[in-house]
Amino acid sequence: MGDLVCCDPLSAERWRDIRRLTDRASPYAVPWFEPGPENMAALQKMRVLVVGAGGLGCELLKNLALSGFQNIDVIDMDTIDVSNL
């Protein structure tokens, strides 16, 4: 995955909504939040743990990946039946 903080027009459009959250102040943000482009870079470095990749977990994993998180760990103890393949 390429650098999220580049100036490529396609990339800028893809991350527009996320940047709207990370680059602007909000009355709903915690008091110590400082908006800026470094927040987008912090998303790339964060590690996220998802426990369970069933119906809800699968959708959550997709959304995390599309939101720019690159370090996603998954724990799922289910086994797959051959009849389900």
Q: How far apart are CA 27 and CA 70, in angstroms?
A: 28
Mean pLDDT, the chain, rounded, equals: 82
Summarised one tens digit per residue, pLDDT across range 7-44 is 566 567 777 888 888 888 888 888 898 888 888 888 77
What pLDDT score does 9 carry?
Answer: 60
What is the value of pTM for the model shown?
0.58
Contacts of 11 (CB under 8 A, 6+ apart): 2, 4
Residues of the chain with pLDDT > 90: what percent?
Answer: 18
Rounded to an integer, the average pLDDT of 37-56 is: 87
Task: Give the Cα-Cα-Cα angle 32, 25, 21 (nearest 5 degrees).
Answer: 105
Asked whether residue 1 carries a pLDDT value surpassing 50, the answer given is: no
* Main-chain dihedrals φ then ψ at residue 32, nearest 5 degrees: -90, 0
List, in order, residues 6 or more apart from 1 with CB less than 8 Å away: 70
